[in-house]
């Protein structure tokens, strides 16, 4: 390992230590620190594993790129990560941490009704299992509105449904609910949604004081790992064809079991321990992309300029508002623009959030860009933690999904945050409608308390119901006792 790479890893370690020191022991309950850890996994941890020769042979993305340029690019991005962290901490997010009250949890459980969320996610799951939803093979120009909805909302709606159920019925159902959630998400044929769902659910529960036991965590963690390995084994042996056709939930669930079996008993080199580690490490190599660009720049290729960066943010505009967007975006993909401009390999390189705009902004303006992003992240997290409401819970769930979009860079993050805006508007509408239904019943309760009238329990029970502290439905009339 070169001195440059050692320095880069030390800078990343300093960034993580600063976040932990400033935010305290609850730092992992916030989305931005998780995002920083994701950056370290792509830009630092993968580089350590690539020092092993038997692992390095699996990474073809470094072919033709000098190691010195990769090391230099890693150092530049590590400094950028430190700038991002400093600007994030400068907004003082630790000063904003709303205490969750019992009535806040009751309101969230009432608005995020798990039954409504299951009804909303069921058609999206059905489209996915028919090969026309999440992880479909349909070309971008041929996708329909239902297909886009399934790809955008499936994961977060399934997680919110699981959260709403546990919020109402308690943690004794944690293992059962998480297994159900993992099966529904695993049937899409992708590994990240399973991990993202697991992490998001734990984080949402921690903010209402619902923490699973160590035994529950170990069981669900083991099952999550087995599911991820099952998908890996099946895709290694049989490819992705099953997930791109109308195969149904049962066939997809059985594929996980057969994939895990083949992973253990098959003699395929990809299924060995070294092969799996090599594949994962190559998947997380986030430095080769920027290293190749820096190598091209060292030969005299200029940066592409900052002007196109704003153009690529237009991906956030919905397709129904801009029908020709898909044609425009397909020509304006920043990663592919840099791939062709700087002569990189035309393979699935991993640009990452820190490296995507390396070829456009250059090293110096990249620092300015990351400083702005760090400040905006801090302000966003301050708003998120100022109060505990259903809108903020939905936004929190989507913000955790952003952590797993790190490799896609800013465009993927913006599309995910667009999901948060849509869901927040929908939840706010539900909150307003249910609030209007609830107010007349509350007025009748107040009248009954003051002796102005008699209100039957049947009328009140029929109009307003919410979960009490034990987690079972209780009518407002019971509060009069």
Averaged pLDDT for residues 393-415:
88
Q: Which of 77-91, 321-335, 432-446 has the least mean pLDDT?
A: 432-446
Instruction: Answer yes or no: do 124 and 269 share one domain.
Output: yes
Secondary structure of 220-282 as H, E, C letters: HHHHHHHHHHHHHHHHHHHCCHHHHCCCHHHHHHHHHHHHHHHHHHCCCHHHCHHHHHHHHHH
List pLDDT tens digits, range 234-283. 777 777 777 777 777 787 777 787 777 777 666 555 556 666 777 777 77
Instruction: Answer yes or no: do 71 and 169 share one domain.
Output: yes
Q: Which of 49-63, 310-324, 380-394, 455-469 has the least mean pLDDT?
A: 455-469
Instruction: Answer yes or no: do 370 and 465 share one domain.
Output: no
- Among 381, 422, 415, smallest CA distance to 401 is for 415
- Confidence at residue 84, expressed as pLDDT on a 0 to 100 scale: 95
Instruction: Answer yes or no: do 450 and 426 share one domain.
Output: no
List pLDDT tens digits, range 297-339. 888 888 888 877 877 777 777 766 776 766 666 555 788 888 8
- Confidence at residue 443, expressed as pLDDT on a 0 to 100 scale: 54
Instruction: Answer yes or no: do 322 and 399 share one domain.
Output: yes
- Confidence at residue 154, expressed as pLDDT on a 0 to 100 scale: 84
- Confidence at residue 39, expressed as pLDDT on a 0 to 100 scale: 92
Instruction: Answer yes or no: do 457 and 321 share one domain.
Output: no
Residue 466 pLDDT > 60, yes or no? Answer: no
- Confidence at residue 470, expressed as pLDDT on a 0 to 100 scale: 41
- Confidence at residue 474, expressed as pLDDT on a 0 to 100 scale: 39
Instruction: Answer yes or no: do 405 and 472 share one domain.
Output: no
Instruction: Answer yes or no: do 209 and 286 share one domain.
Output: yes
Instruction: Answer yes or no: do 429 and 459 share one domain.
Output: no
CA–CA distances in Å: residue 344 to residues 65, 139, 330, 338, 349: 9, 24, 18, 8, 9
What is the enclosing helix (H) or strand (E) of 378? helix 358-386
Distance, CA of 11 to chain centre? 25
How many domains would you assign to the chain?
2
Instruction: Answer yes or no: do 417 and 466 share one domain.
Output: no
Share of the chain above pLDDT 90, in %: 21
CA 325-424-381 angle, to 5 degrees, is: 95
- Confidence at residue 102, expressed as pLDDT on a 0 to 100 scale: 56
Domain boundary among 414, 433, 452: 433
Provide the token pair at 149: 């909805």
Instruction: Answer yes or no: do 310 and 423 share one domain.
Output: yes
Backbone angles phi, psi at 470, to 5 degrees: -80, -10
The C-alpha atoms of residue 284 and residue 154 are separated, in whole angstroms, by 24
Q: Which of 18-32, 299-313, 325-339, 387-401 has the least mean pLDDT?
A: 325-339
> Which is more confidently placed, 320 or 109?
109
Phi-psi region at 350: left, alpha or beta (left = phi > 0; alpha = psi -120 to 50) = beta
**Is the distance from CB of 117 to CB of 390 less than 8 angstroms?**
no
Instruction: Answer yes or no: do 35 and 171 share one domain.
Output: yes
Averaged pLDDT for residues 157-182:
90
**Local structure of 473: helix, strand or coil:** strand
Provide the residue range defining the domain that includes 411.
3-433
Q: Which of 288-297, 349-358, 430-439, 449-458 has the least mean pLDDT?
A: 449-458
Residue 409 pLDDT > 70, yes or no? Answer: yes
**Is the distance from CB of 366 to CB of 373 less than 8 angstroms?**
no
- Confidence at residue 8, expressed as pLDDT on a 0 to 100 scale: 92
The C-alpha atoms of residue 424 and residue 111 are separated, in whole angstroms, by 12
Residue 109 pLDDT > 70, yes or no? Answer: yes
- Confidence at residue 152, expressed as pLDDT on a 0 to 100 scale: 78
């Amino acid at each position: 390992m070169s001195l440059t790479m050692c320095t880069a890893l030390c800078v990343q370690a300093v960034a993580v230590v600063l976040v932990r020191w400033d935010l305290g022991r609850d730092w992992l309950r916030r989305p931005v620190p998780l995002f920083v850890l994701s950056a370290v996994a792509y830009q630092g941890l993968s580089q350590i594993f690539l020092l092993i020769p038997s692992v390095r042979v699996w990474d073809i993305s470094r072919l033709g790129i000098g190691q010195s340029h990769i090391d230099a690019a890693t150092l530049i991005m590590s400094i950028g990560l430190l700038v991002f962290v400093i600007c994030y901490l400068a907004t003082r997010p630790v000063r904003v941490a709303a205490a969750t009250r019992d009535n806040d949890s009751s309101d969230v459980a009432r608005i995020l009704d798990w039954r409504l969320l299951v009804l909303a996610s069921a058609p999206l799951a059905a489209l996915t299992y028919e090969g026309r939803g999440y992880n479909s093979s349909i070309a971008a120009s041929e996708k329909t509105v239902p297909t886009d909805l399934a790809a955008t909302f499936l994961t977060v709606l399934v997680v919110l449904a699981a959260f709403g159920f546990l919020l109402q019925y308690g943690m004794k159902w944690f293992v059962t609910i998480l297994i159900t959630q993992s099966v529904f998400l695993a049937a899409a044929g992708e590994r990240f949604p399973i991990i993202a769902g697991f992490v998001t659910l734990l984080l949402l529960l921690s903010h209402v004081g619902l923490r699973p036991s160590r035994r529950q965590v170990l069981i669900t963690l083991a099952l999550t790992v087995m599911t991820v390995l099952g998908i890996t084994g099946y895709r290694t042996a049989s490819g992705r064809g099953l997930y791109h056709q109308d195969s149904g939930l049962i066939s997809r669930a059985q594929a996980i079991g057969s994939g895990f079996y083949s992973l253990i008993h098959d003699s395929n080199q990809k299924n060995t321990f070294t092969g799996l580690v090599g594949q994962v490490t190559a998947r997380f190599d986030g430095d080769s992309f920027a290293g190749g660009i820096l190598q091209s720049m060292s030969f005299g290729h200029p940066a592409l300029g900052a002007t196109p960066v704003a153009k690529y943010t237009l991906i956030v505009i919905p397709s129904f508002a801009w029908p020709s967007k898909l044609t425009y975006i397909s020509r304006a993909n920043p990663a592919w623009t840099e791939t062709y401009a700087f002569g990189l390999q035309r393979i699935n390189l991993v640009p990452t959030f820190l490296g995507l705009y390396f070829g456009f902004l250059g090293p110096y303006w990249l620092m300015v860009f990351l400083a702005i992003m760090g400040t905006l992240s801090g302000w966003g997290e301050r708003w998120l933690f100022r109060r505990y409401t259903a809108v903020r819970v939905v936004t929190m769930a989507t913000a955790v999904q952003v952590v797993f979009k790190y490799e896609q860079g800013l465009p993927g993050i913006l599309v995910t945050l667009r999901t948060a805006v849509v869901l927040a508007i929908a939840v706010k509408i539900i909150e307003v409608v249910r609030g209007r239904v609830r107010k007349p019943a509350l007025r009748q309760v107040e009248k009954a308390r003051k002796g102005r009238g008699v209100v039957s329990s049947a009328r009140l029970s029929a109009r307003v119901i919410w979960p009490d502290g034990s987690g079972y439905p209780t009518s407002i009339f019971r509060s009069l006792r």
